[in-house]
Structure formats: structure tokens, C-alpha cells
Amino acid sequence: MEIQQSFKGNQEVGCLYLVPTPIGNLEDMSVRGVKCLQTVDLIAAEDTRNTQKLLNHFEITTPQKSLHEHNFKERIPQLLALLQGGKDIAQVSDAGMPSISDPGHELVLACLAEKIKVIALPGPTAGLTALLASGLSPQPNYFYGFLPRKKNEQKAVLASLYAQEATLIFYESPHRVKETLANMQTVFGERQAVICRELTKLHEEYLRGTFSELLAYLDERELKGECCLLVAGNSQPEEQQEMKEISVKEEVQSLIDQGMKPNAAIKTVAQRRSRKKQEIYQEYHELT
């Protein structure tokens, strides 16, 4: 067990501050966030070019070092040395909260391992912001982030979320959102969903409807801007019980008939039923 008292104790070692940045509208930058970026010794940024625009807007002159998925292994030891020498560092991603579908978690873990304080500031985050105005139930909610890109891997993840009663929150590229909605309809059946794009920006837009309605809309239009995709939770979890009354063979075959490959269908059914894939394989092929 470990106790961190964020604003008490040893001041000889620096602190890591996790500072959220606007997801679109620069006015969402908090007074505390600006002050933190002004007073720390260094800013660790996902993309220094992008962050420099923010710093210029608020007339912040603090130096930066890049920290992203391609250089974190070599950069983290350098940042730890600075922190252990008494320097304070603020970590930022390109937009929103560091570590939430963005780089950052590795540095947090490294600091905690070295007993360096990690202090998170509250601020903008796309998933919860979109949820509040979506019209879907805000509580409970389940944040997933970006789904796998490969169709069968994506369907397998969705199958594992099938019984979730919480509102589901995903991030998605506008170029893939239509295909993702189609996969969701295949796995979940018909549900209410909301696409929120260009959040906090001038062209912010919420598209609310069933999977079928949204897919019909997207047949005629192409979206632009990063999207939040929110999906109503399973309102009839008892269906999970009814599923047991359908044979494994019937369930697997149903997914295959909908276009899923046999191995992916077997994996999906195994996840839905919380059983081993080998067991489902044997039942489907009547090997038991």
C-alpha cells in the first residue's frame, strides 16, 4: 500500500502534472491549467508543434520535450532524472486528457514506481462531454475508446460488450464510423446510438437515432472530424439467459449467415457465453 499526499511532504523531488488541453474550443482551457503550464519547468507534449500553438495563444514560454508512442522508452528516463532533480513537469496530449486514448500512461507508471507524485488536473474529455448531451443514460457508462480496426477483431470485442447495460462510449474515425455501426448492428441487434462530431467546435453536431437510421443517413453523406460514438446499453439483459436456450450450433450458424467467418463466429459466441473457444468449436462441429 502507498499513500500520496499531493501537496505535502518532500519538495526536493519534482511533481508530474497531467494537464488536460482543449478538444477544440480554446476557451475550455482552465485558469489552473494555464498557470500550471506557466510555472512548471518543462512540458512533455505528444506533439510539440501542436502544443506550441496552444502555448502561443496563452503567451506561455515554458520549454517543451516530445513524449509519444515512438520515443517514450528513451524519453522517460530523461524525464525521471529531471523530476528526481527537483524539476516539475507537465504532461499534455494533443487534445483532452493525457492517457485517455493518448500517450501518457507509461510516464505515470514510471513516476509511481520511483515515488514521484503524479497530480491530475480536471478538464476537457471528449467521451463524457458527448455523453452528457447525447440523450442516452449517463450513468452507468462504459468507456472503451478506439475499437480494433480489423473487422473480425472488432466484432469479437463488441461481442464481449454485448451484455453491458451501461451506455457504451467509443472513439472512431469518420472514415470508419459507418463500417463500425454496421458491425455493431450485426453483433448487438438494433439499438439507439449517437454520433457526436467536431465536439466544442463551430460545426459541432449530434446525430441521434437507431443503427438503421444512422446507417441510412451515412449512405448519402460523408462525415468529417473525429467522432464520439455512443451506444445504448443492453436494456434486456435477460436476453443473455434466453441465449442459453438457443443451441451453440444455431447461434454460430446465425453469425456465419450474417457474413462472419466461422472462426470469428465461434470466438464471438464463446465470449458471449463466457465459455472457452475450444468448447464452442467442438459443439458447433458436433465433436462432443
**In this model, does residue 47 exceed pLDDT 60?**
yes
259 touches 226 (CB < 8 A) = no
Same domain, 221 and 202: yes
Same domain, 22 and 107: yes
Same domain, 21 and 63: yes
Q: Would you say residue 250 lies in a domain?
A: yes
CATH of the domain at 86: 3.40.1010.10
| Confidence label for 54 from pLDDT (cuts 50, 70 and 90) | very high
Percent of the chain's residues with pLDDT above 90: 66
pLDDT one-digit tens code per residue, 84-113: 999 999 999 999 999 887 778 999 999 999
What is the model's pLDDT at position 254? 76
Domain with 59 in it: 16-120
**In this model, does residue 168 exceed pLDDT 90?**
yes
Rounded to 10 deg, the angle between the 105-113 and 72-84 helix axes is 40
Percent of the chain's residues with pLDDT above 70: 95
Residue type, 153: E
Cell numbers at 27, concatenated: 476557451
Asked if omega into 98 is within 30° of 0 (cis), the reply is no
**In this model, does residue 250 exceed pLDDT 50?**
yes
Residue 227's beta-bridge partner residues?
172, 197
Average pLDDT for the chain: 91
pLDDT one-digit tens code per residue, 225-244: 889 999 999 987 665 545 54
- Sheet containing 16-18: give its strands across: 64-66, 42-45, 89-92, 16-18, 118-120
What is the model's pLDDT at position 237? 67
Same domain, 231 and 205: yes
CA 5 to chain centre: 28
Same domain, 142 and 217: yes
Query: Of 120, 143, 159, which residue sits at a domain end?
Result: 120
Q: Would you say residue 4 lies in a domain?
A: no
